[in-house]
Amino acid sequence: MLPPPKGTRDYLPAEMKKRRWVMEKIREVFERYGYSEICTPAFESLELLEKKGGIGDENIKDIYRFQDKSKRWLGLRFEMTASVARIVSGKPNLTKPVKWYYITNLWRYEATKKGRQREFWQAGIENIGTKDELIDAEILAVTHDSLKAVGIENFVIKISSRQIISKIADKYCIKNKNDFFKLIDKREKMPEAEWKSELAGQFKNKSDLESFLNLAALPWPEAKKELSTVAKDDIGYLEKILNYCKSFGIDKRNLKVDLMMIRGLDYYTDFIFETEVEGFKELGSVAGGGRYDKLIELFGGQPTPATGMGIGIERVMEIVMGEIKEKPAIDVLILPVGEEFKKYAVELAARLRKEGIYCDIEVMRDKFKKKMAYASELGVGLVAIIGKEEAEKGQVTLKDMETGDQKKFNIEEILRNNKSAES
């Protein structure tokens, strides 16, 4: 037996049906907000993907890279923003704002764990061309509505600001901000004593360290007051986002300001967020994103504000997989009870499919009892039985698999009833 490559997996029909349901629910939300779908190549030039390395993206080392027959270096996309930036920077005349979404597979060569594969799927949106608190709040609203649409309720969207965190670093005269930010990001990934010991090396004295730790523990209303003199405008920006969130109908129980939440700060320029689901902390962030106003320029375009988010499909599936009620793949299973009735079964199936009725023909099993057992296994609601009498009279016997009731119908009568039900 040859297994799939490490970090990848096969999705069989039962699971694919649930994954497709999740993706379609998210797609509906994206499109209700006016986002249009895009699709880009699975691989890009390695140079393009590594451009993000100019702003310190740690994912660069995890790129699946290879040379083609012409010795050109290519890489599998590890996210979509690089591809989006390539398109937007090369098409300066695109009507703004650009509101695009994608639901696609990506690749990163990283350690695997629950909810994290080396090939994974992500649903995301990008809103390019406008810097406005309303737009950032809309990003949160789409995230909120998407998670609700797939049945996830007990989540918290933790929002923060790169600008505020940067000014906190200035307040304490932090010399190496990148190291400071990376250390804060490890807050919940290290033993507390070890983390505080390493953090102490970033501060001039013990009193500054204690002051910072006290600030980090403050709820947002109190933290605002403490920072009002050093980050007034940035606090105002964040507050406006929160106010718009109320107007979007986001439940305040699903929102929390956490200034110690750090998310790829070398990539983001201002507003950032991550989403955790209660009871699934081991999955990490299920959705996240923020504002990246310098990326289009980095890829050769004009300075262009941009914001966006991504939802991890694998992590969502870990949460909702068992909660989704599986609908049968077909509405009707047609059972010809003899070889001579297969042609009639094919003609019936063709007419039903033309009317939008999902159906299949069972021809593998000889005994009627086994055919019925297979229908039960599939979970279909109706079976259409075709024997000698049905074939001669242009009829079909429909059996309700739930109630056990069965009755003969003319084919035309079934089709008329189906049209009436649709209207």
* Region 175-203 average pLDDT: 88
CA separation for the pair 40, 85 (Å, rounded): 11
Q: For position 258, what pLDDT does the model report? A: 92
Of the given ranges (21-30, 36-45, 108-117, 143-152), which has the lowest mean pLDDT?
A: 108-117
**253 three-state secondary structure:** helix
pLDDT tier at 69 (50, 70, 90 boundaries)?
Answer: very high
* Residues 271 and 241 sit within 8 Å (Cβ to Cβ): yes
Does the domain at 13-323 match CATH 3.10.20.90? Answer given as: no
Q: How many CB atoms are located within 10 Å of the residue 402 CB?
A: 8
Mean pLDDT of the chain: 92
Q: For position 420, what pLDDT does the model report? A: 64
Does the domain at 332-416 match CATH 3.40.50.10900? Answer given as: no
**313 three-state secondary structure:** helix
Q: Angle 220-227/206-217 helices, nearest 10 degrees? A: 140
- List pLDDT tens digits, range 201-227: 999 999 999 999 999 889 999 999 999
Amino acid identity at 330 = I
Asked if the domains at 13-323 and 332-416 fall in one CATH topology, the answer is no
Q: What are the extents of the domains in the chain?
A: 13-323, 332-416
By C-alpha distance, which of 27, 256, 278 is closest to 152? 278
Which residues are within 8 A (CB) of 226 and not within 5 positions of it... i.e. 6 or more apart? 215, 218
Q: How many CB atoms are located within 10 Å of the residue 163 CB?
A: 18
Task: Using the structure block, give the residue that is written with the tokens 């249009």.
Answer: 36
Q: For position 288, what pLDDT does the model report? A: 96
| Cα within 13 Å of Cα(172), Cβ side | 27
* Region 66-74 average pLDDT: 97
DSSP 61-76: GG--EEE-TT--EEEE
Which residues are within 8 A (CB) of 236 and not within 5 positions of it... i.e. 6 or more apart? none
By C-alpha distance, which of 143, 142, 106 is closest to 121? 106
Query: Cα dist. 189→19, 93, 100 in Å?
Result: 30, 45, 34
- List pLDDT tens digits, range 319-340: 998 888 878 889 999 999 999 9
Which residues are within 8 A (CB) of 335 and not within 5 positions of it... i.e. 6 or more apart? 345, 362, 368, 371, 372, 375, 383, 384, 385, 386
Strands of the sheet containing 65-67, edge to edge, are 43-45, 73-76, 65-67
- List pLDDT tens digits, range 124-157: 999 999 999 999 999 999 999 999 999 999 999 9
By C-alpha distance, which of 8, 4, 216 is closest to 121? 8
- The per-residue b/e assignment along 343-360, b for 16 or more CB within 10 angstroms, e otherwise, is ebbeebbeebeeeebebb
Please give the model's pTM, rounded to 2 decimal places: 0.89
